[in-house]
Amino acid sequence: MKPAPFAYHRPTTLDEALATLAADPHAKVLAGGQSLVPLLSMRLARPSALVDLNGLPGLDTIEVSEAGVRVGALARHAEVLASAEVRRSQPLVSLALGHVAHATIRNRGTTVGSLVHADAAAEMPVVLTLLGGSVEAASVRGRRTIAAADLFLGPLESSLAPDEIALSAFFPALPAGAGVAFEEIARRHGDYALCGVAALADGESVRAGFVSVSDVPTVVDLTGVPAGERGEAALAQLDPQGDIHATATYRSELVRVLTERVVQSAMESRQARSPEDS
Amino acid sequence: MTTKLMGQGVQRVEDQRFLRGQGRYVDDVAVDAATLHAAVLRSPHAHARIVDIDVEAVLDIEGVHAVWTYDDLSGRMAEPLPLLIPHPTLTHGRTQYALAKDEVNYAGEAVAFVVAEDRYVAEDALEAIRVTYDVLPPVVGIEAARAADRLVHDDADGTVPGNVGARMEQSTGDPQPAIAAAPHRLELDLTIERSACTPMEGRGTVARWDPDTNRMQVWTSTQSSTGVRAVVAVKLGLDLGQVDVITPDVGGGFGVKINHPWPEELLVPLAARTLGRTVKFTEDRREHFVSSAHERGQVHHVEVGFDDDGRLLGLDVAFWHDHGAYTPYGLIVPIITSTQLLGPYKPAVYRVVFESVYTNTVMVTPYRGAGRPQGCFVMERTMDAIAAYLGKDRTEVRAANFIQPDEFPYDQGLIFQDGRELEYDSGDYPASLEKLKELVGWDEFPAFQAEMAAQGRRVGIGLACYVEGTGVGPYEGAHVHIETTGKVKVATGLTTQGQGHATVFAQLVADELGVKFEDVEVVTGDTRRMPYAVGTFASRAAVMSGSAIHLAAKRAKEKVLRIAAEALEAAEEDLEIVDGVVSVKGSPGSSLDLGTVSVLSNPLRYAFDEASKAATQFSVGDPGKPPVPEDDEPGLEGRDFYSPERATFASGMHAVIVETDPRTAEITILKYAVVHDCGNLINPMIVEGQIHGGVAQGVGGALYERMAYDESGQLQNASFMDFLMPYVTEIPDGIDIDHLETPSPLNPLGIKGAGEAGVIPSAAVFAAAIEDAEGITISAMPISPSELFHLRQEHSA
Amino acid sequence: MSEERHEIRLSVNGASYELSIPARRLLSDALRHDLGLTGTHVGCEHGVCGACTVLLDGQPVRACLLFAVSVQGQEITTVEGLTKPDGSLGNVQQAFAECHGLQCGFCTPGFLTTITAGLRDNPTPTHEECREMVAGNLCRCTGYQNIVKAVERAAELGSEGDA
């Protein structure tokens, strides 16, 4: 399985990268490539050119502030996962990243790349949505911040323009007194989830985000729903589909089971967490 | 005195190159810029007539050297590929053409062949080929095949009515009266879904035509070097003697590489000769899914009559085997199901009937177990059903049916896959069962199950017994050559895909000849070194080549002793060979090393080095006699063949304890136990490795892997992302193994085959354990959590 | 029209190679066909099986998911680079030989590179960590039991002598 031919650019500055993208509407950005390269090899995607970001300086940073975690375009999943500062600031990012593929894929794949790939079966898009994060995008026209709620349009479709590069993603910090949890069920260790749930519980609200249950990352508000009814309440707002690995009915059952488990776990971690941890 | 290597876990010689990344697999051969690369255009449709193929645009692509369709083939190449194993009941066998002629019958069938500078360009060329298809509705699944609303084959080459390729019946009598008269009766319907071998290395072929010697050299990732050689010669109009087939290192076969010739195995040599260049084809993973072979898909109906002890009084089995679009390998898989279904038992009367049906899917050829897993599933589910019906322990019911140790040889009254009587030579099933029960803790399990239940946990235990007729003929051969350096070069014609043959066979030679293990080098699968061979399949290599090599080494040794006795002026009985030195027992000063004996074995006129002077005409020999005796040959070689009267029967029993999640229906393996009897072991470490691998493949086959075809005949999971081969995390952490050794009386070393054992009882044992945990009948495998969940829903409804 | 070639320099196992290749040449193919380092094997070309795993600046990556042009200037280690300069086996390789951790050998290079990096980062792994270390590589022959044993043995060998 070999890719169709494409032109290759290895810009040394961001401006160069943006100009190249602007000049060729069928060019695509290459960062981690762990999602893109198989598509090229299977000839499911045929960009005219690849703009390789791997030579650009300064894009691999991971910045942790009081506000939260900003992950640069070239920060590899493995680096973000290994960061103790990230874990302290927003543990949900670390929890979810541990479920992304296998360690070897995480060594090269980028968290920003995974977000922009906009696969609702991936872990990070719904985490970004649940946390109310955002992506910083740049083009020859300037920069803009895209809120997670506006980022995911459809299956594998983000709202990034063809000539835009996502420079970084921002995950807000976990506030004091809030708790998070993440769990997924997959057929094999490291596979795409049959169903995954990320939950965020703070003083006022309880929300859960779902992996592999819909076309776009979906967050459900479960505030005030008592334990034992959360699964059903979530299901009422979701429409799980079937595929060769799980029927819609079975997937729905996984939604029920995991919603209860993960929301409970998030609420319990809320109590366990002290204000000094944020 | 050196220790015998037979029975030792000797470290493998192959590892020295594999671990350094110096293995030479087929894609590693001819890695140079001059080699051309092939790609194949494959049908996207499961069933279609080919209206037109337009290759115009291909010729514009730089770097393309050839593009062929069926119209470019002539003579024997234009005929269908051979039907390898004919059988009288295969009345409607069909094989594909090297490139589809007028019709395609599975998505993946080869339609056009391109040769280019590299694989990238070749794939570009494929995209430029425009094929016009007249899409036909496909037949997918056994039910659709049987209903025969549509036919797979109904064309200029003939019609296959009802999609039935063959109907075959074997019996020891009519079981219906016995079933009717029996105290108890049961009927079962049991299904196994299609799966596949999926070795880590796919198929590949390299060919080079040498115009200076008029010889064709082929490397191919095969399980039968001689099989490929014979077909290449015939199809390309060459003498057998003009074709060499060299089997490179092979990255796993598990059965799929026994089928031959693949279209590419003919097209590549043809292209090499036509273009005057070395040509290489290496398939990619998707191609392996859609154009190699699958197996396992069968539907079975059982009627059984039994007594109060669960003894089988009458067993009547009918089944339907999905062989896909073509039948190159004949009926081997369903014949094996038919015969090996009997397992270690002796039903009073047994009848088995099968229909082998066509579907518009990838063809079916053997996959490790080759029909035994299905047979074992049927028999073991029947045993479990009988036990449940009678309220008896599942091991008791089995024990009541065992062939007893004093009943061997036991003739089951049927004809086996080798065309010979199904006669079990040896085994001890009661002893195996005792060992298994001990190993898994069978008697203690009910208490454990109750304890878990009190905690809200569901656990279950299952067991499954099987026998395996291994070491089938027609024969294998071996050549042992002791060179003047004292090194021993051994060749056998069957092939290797990871079983460690070079190590295991060297152990045998070292023992028989008395040479150092390190001085023995074994080559397999090279027709230049051993042109008479059959292949590696049916767990036959150790039995067949092991025996042949042992016998060939014996012959070489006889000659060594004869020559040495004369040279040392001693009696042959007084000689011993230790570490490559022949000496008179008790008289170490009187000795010759094997290298010298080798020199002496070949009377020379011309010395070529210092040592060889000893063999020249003025130095040695009785001037009154011919230098080479009448019944002898020059050189220190031994050649022999082993051809068995019948298969030799290995056996085994597995047990598994599983836990099922009450909500998510996820299945976890808590314990896996194996008791295994493959007679005498040459290398226990290697045998154990085979068991580990087989069990893992069985776990995959029972819980994760299936071929997911949709109604239009499209394979929906043609990648490793969706065909779920297990990682380490899906395999139990540790397998408990115990051995029994009932040596085979049929071959000199008492060996039985071990290669397939691990995977045979998997579907049966997991179905049994899950059923035990859930209290729900499991009659179809594989099973996923989603499917178990739905079974629960149906059960409680 | 012929495809554009890029002149690149690859650093593999400490040696520098100059290549003139199209951009779409996967690293797995560049290593195998352009450099003749056929120890890295290709099992799936979609990043799942791990047979093609090499080290990139010491980190395991799938060579089938990289373009050779994209990894200029980085240090690549393949299975061939794990053998010691005198030709003897490194610890991980040695452990595999002792523990019968390979059968057909096709998946093995991917395991060897992965484990080499894994043990460098965690020289004293627990049994669970040993399993996790190889959890992203497929093997069809061994059933993994002896591979896990080999990881543990390699850790032992590493602590006995120099790593």
In terms of domains, do A48 and A66 share one?
no
In terms of domains, do C23 and C72 share one?
yes
Helix (H) or strand (E) holding B116: strand B110-116
Three-point CA angle B503, B506, B509, nearest 5°: 160
* Residues B15-136+197-291, CATH architecture: Alpha-Beta Complex (3.90)
The verdict on residue A140 lying in a domain is yes
* Chain B residues whose beta carbon lies within 8 Å of the beta carbon of residue A195: none
The verdict on residue A1 lying in a domain is no
The verdict on residue A2 lying in a domain is no
* Chain A residues whose beta carbon lies within 8 Å of the beta carbon of residue C46: 1, 38, 41-42
CATH number at residue A87: 3.30.465.10
In terms of domains, do A168 and A108 share one?
yes
* Domain ranges across chain B: 15-136+197-291, 298-400+408-472+645-796, 476-642
Q: How far is B271 from chain A (nearest CA, A)?
A: 22
For the domain bounded by B476-642, which CATH number is listed?
Answer: 3.30.365.10
Instruction: Choose, out of C88, C140, C153, the residue to mutate when testing the contact with B (most B CBs < 10 Å).
Output: C140
In terms of domains, do C17 and C53 share one?
yes
Q: Phi/psi at B520 (nearest 5 deg)?
A: -105, 130
Is A278 a residue whose pLDDT tops 70? Answer: no
Q: In terms of DSSP bridges, do strands B520-524 and B575-578 run parallel, antiparallel, or are they unpaired?
A: unpaired
* Chain A residues whose beta carbon lies within 8 Å of the beta carbon of residue C23: 5-8, 50
Mean of the per-residue pLDDT values for chain B? 96
Q: SS3 breakdown of chain B: % helix, strand, coil, rounded to 5?
A: 30, 25, 40
Task: Give the pLDDT of residue A272.
Answer: 63
Q: Which domain holds residue C150?
A: 91-162
Of B513-522, B573-582, B622-631, B705-714, minimum mean pLDDT range? B622-631
Nearest CB partner across the interface for A3, out of C24, C59, C135: C24
In terms of domains, do A66 and A50 share one?
no
Q: Who wins on pLDDT, B586 or B366?
A: B366
* Residues B298-400+408-472+645-796, CATH architecture: 2-Layer Sandwich (3.30)
* Local confidence band at B1 (pLDDT 50, 70, 90 cut-offs): very low
C29, C53, C81 - which closes a domain: C81
Helix (H) or strand (E) holding A144: strand A142-147
Taking the alpha carbons at both ends of chain B, their separation in whole angstroms is 72
Nearest CB partner across the interface for A257, out of B663, B729, B790: B663
Residue range A3-20: mean pLDDT, rounded: 98
Q: SS3 breakdown of chain A: % helix, strand, coil, rounded to 5?
A: 35, 25, 40
Task: Give the pLDDT of residue C162.
Answer: 52
Q: Does C4 touch chain B (CB under 8 A)?
A: no
Is C163 a residue whose pLDDT tops 60? Answer: no
Is the complex ipTM higher than 0.90?
A: yes
The verdict on residue A81 lying in a domain is yes
The verdict on residue A139 lying in a domain is yes
Residue range A46-65: mean pLDDT, rounded: 97
Is B431 a residue whose pLDDT tops 50? Answer: yes
Residues 42-101 in C contacting B (C-alpha not used; CB under 8 Å): 42-46, 48-49, 51, 78-80, 82-83, 89, 93, 96-98, 100
Residues 101-130 in C contacting B (C-alpha not used; CB under 8 Å): 102-109, 112, 127
In terms of domains, do A32 and A115 share one?
no
In terms of domains, do A160 and A78 share one?
yes
Q: What is the pLDDT of residues B336-388, one digit of tens each?
A: 999 999 999 999 999 999 999 999 999 999 999 999 999 999 999 999 999 99
Whose CA is closest to A53, among A108, A1, A105?
A108
Whose CA is closest to C30, among C49, C2, C6, C57?
C6
In terms of domains, do A211 and A257 share one?
yes
Instruction: Report DSSP state, residue B573.
Output: G
CATH number at residue C107: 1.10.150.120
Please give the single-letter amino acid code of residue B168: M
In terms of domains, do C66 and C129 share one?
no
In terms of domains, do C68 and C100 share one?
no
Collect all residues with Cβ–Cβ distance below 8 Å to C15 and sequence separation of at least 6: none
The verdict on residue A250 lying in a domain is yes
The verdict on residue C86 lying in a domain is no
Q: Which domain holds residue A206?
A: 179-273
In terms of domains, do A195 and A222 share one?
yes
CATH number at residue C66: 3.10.20.30
Is C1 a residue whose pLDDT tops 60? Answer: no
Q: What is the pLDDT of residues C54-73, one digit of tens each?
A: 999 999 999 999 999 999 99
Q: Does A189 touch chain B (CB under 8 A)?
A: yes
Q: What is the pLDDT of residues B237-258, one digit of tens each?
A: 999 999 999 999 999 999 999 9
Distance between CA atoms of residues A81 and A91, nearest Å:
10
In terms of domains, do C98 and C157 share one?
yes
State the total domains in chain A.
3
A172, A192, A224 - which closes a domain: A172
The answer to whether B298-400+408-472+645-796 and B476-642 have equal CATH topology is yes
CATH number at residue A221: 3.30.390.50
DSSP states of B148-175: TSS-S-EETTEE-GGGEEEEEEEESS-H
A55, A72, A93 - which closes a domain: A55
Residue range B260-272: mean pLDDT, rounded: 98
In terms of domains, do A46 and A100 share one?
no
Distance between CA atoms of residues B26 and B204, nearest Å:
6
* Local confidence band at A275 (pLDDT 50, 70, 90 cut-offs): low
CATH number at residue A43: 3.30.43.10
Task: Give the pLDDT of residue B353.
Answer: 98
pTM score above 0.90: yes
Distance between CA atoms of residues B44 and C16, nearest Å:
43
Q: What is the pLDDT of residues B189-223, one digit of tens each?
A: 999 999 999 999 999 999 999 999 999 999 999 99
